[in-house]
Each structure stands twice: as structure tokens, then as C-alpha cells.
């Protein structure tokens, strides 16, 4: 993902996917920096908000998985 993001022709989706992967690894500050890199603040505010929303959904899914029967827990991912 980092190599794809470093290409001159990389688009916004590559950057957001890299940020999502880094965020899922628990490195939230680094994920935000990836989203914000080389872009004006007004353009990145919505992207950072989207990233936080996606990461919070993943956290909620993990919390909810503890409430499900073991056989059903694997279907959340």
C-alpha cells in the first residue's frame, strides 16, 4: 500500500486505503497524517471524518462480536 501511495499517479482511494490499514493497526495519528499529506486542510477534513467513522464501526463490530455465539462471530468480517 505504501508503494502504491508513493506513485505519482496514485489517487485518493489509495491514500485512504493505506490510512485505513494503518488505523486498523492502531496507529491513528499516523493514519490521519497519511490522509492529510500534501493536501490543504479544507480538503482533508471530510476524509479524516470518514476515516474515523470507518474505524469506529470496526471497533463497534468487535465489541458486538463478544455478544454473539462463537459460530456467528466469524461472519462479521
Sorting pLDDT into bands at 50, 70 and 90, what band is 64?
A: low
Compute the mean pLDDT over every residue in the chain, rounded to the nearest whole number.
78
What is residue 50's predicted lDDT score, i.e. its pLDDT? Answer: 86
Q: For residue 75, is pLDDT > 90? A: no
Buried b (16+ CB within 10 A) or exposed e, 29-63: eebbebbbeeeeeeebeebeeebeeebeeeeeeee
Rounded CA separation 68/2 (Å): 35
pLDDT digits 0-9 by tens, 14-52: 888 899 999 999 998 999 998 888 788 887 888 888 888
Q: For residue 55, is pLDDT > 80? A: yes
What is residue 44's predicted lDDT score, i.e. its pLDDT? Answer: 84
Q: Give pTM, 2 decimals.
A: 0.64
Amino acid at each position: 500500500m505504501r508503494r502504491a501511495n508513493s506513485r505519482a499517479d496514485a489517487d485518493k482511494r489509495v491514500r485512504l486505503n493505506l490510512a485505513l490499514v494503518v488505523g486498523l493497526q492502531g496507529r491513528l495519528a499516523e493514519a490521519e497524517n497519511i490522509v492529510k499529506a500534501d493536501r490543504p486542510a479544507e480538503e482533508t477534513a471530510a476524509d479524516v471524518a470518514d476515516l474515523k467513522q470507518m474505524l469506529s464501526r470496526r471497533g463497534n463490530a468487535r465489541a458486538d462480536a463478544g455478544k454473539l455465539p462463537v459460530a456467528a462471530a466469524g461472519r462479521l468480517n
